[in-house]
Amino acid sequence: MEEYCEVVGCKNPKFKTVSKKEAEKVFSLSTQKTKVHLCKEHYKKFKKETKEDRKIERLTWV
Ligand SMILES: [Zn+2]
């Protein structure tokens, strides 16, 4: 079974699977599962966004 990116409106093939909790901070998702598939483009964006997120979190939570 072929799997696809689960960002709303995206029809690209799956590149990586990430936790929905993290991914939903960045994207609107079309799944109820706890793991979501992202395509290459969305994964790149996800990595960038969550990296910045963690920096902020670290400052806020320490
Ligand atoms: Zn995508």
Confidence label for 30 from pLDDT (cuts 50, 70 and 90) = confident
| Alpha carbon of 55 to ligand 1 centroid (Å) | 24
Residue 1 included in any domain:
no
Residues lining ligand 1 (ion), CB within 5 A?
Answer: 5, 7, 10, 12, 39, 42
Q: Of 31 and 4, which is predicted with more confidence? A: 4
pLDDT reading at 3 higher than 90: yes
Q: Is residue 3 part of a domain?
A: no
Cβ-contact 32, 56 below 8 angstroms: no
Give the pLDDT confidence score for residue 38 in this predicted structure: 97
Q: Where are the beta strands (DSSP E) in 1-62?
A: 16-19, 35-38
Residue 62 Cα to ligand 1 middle (Å)? 33
Q: Is residue 4 part of a domain?
A: no
Report the chain's C-alpha Rg in angstroms: 12
Q: Domain for residue 11, yes or no?
A: no
pLDDT value at residue 2: 85
Overall number of domains in the chain:
1
pTM for the whole structure: 0.78
Structure tokens at 2: 């072929």
Domain membership of residue 39 (yes or no) is yes
Look up tokens 């936790």; give the residue.
19
Burial code (b: 16+ CB inside 10 Å, e: under 16) for 37-46 equals bbbeebbeeb
Domain around 52: 16-61
5 found inside a domain: no
C-alpha 60 to ligand 1 mean position (Å)? 30
Residue 32's pLDDT band, with cuts at 50, 70 and 90, is confident
| Within a domain: 10 | no
| Inside any domain, residue 55 | yes
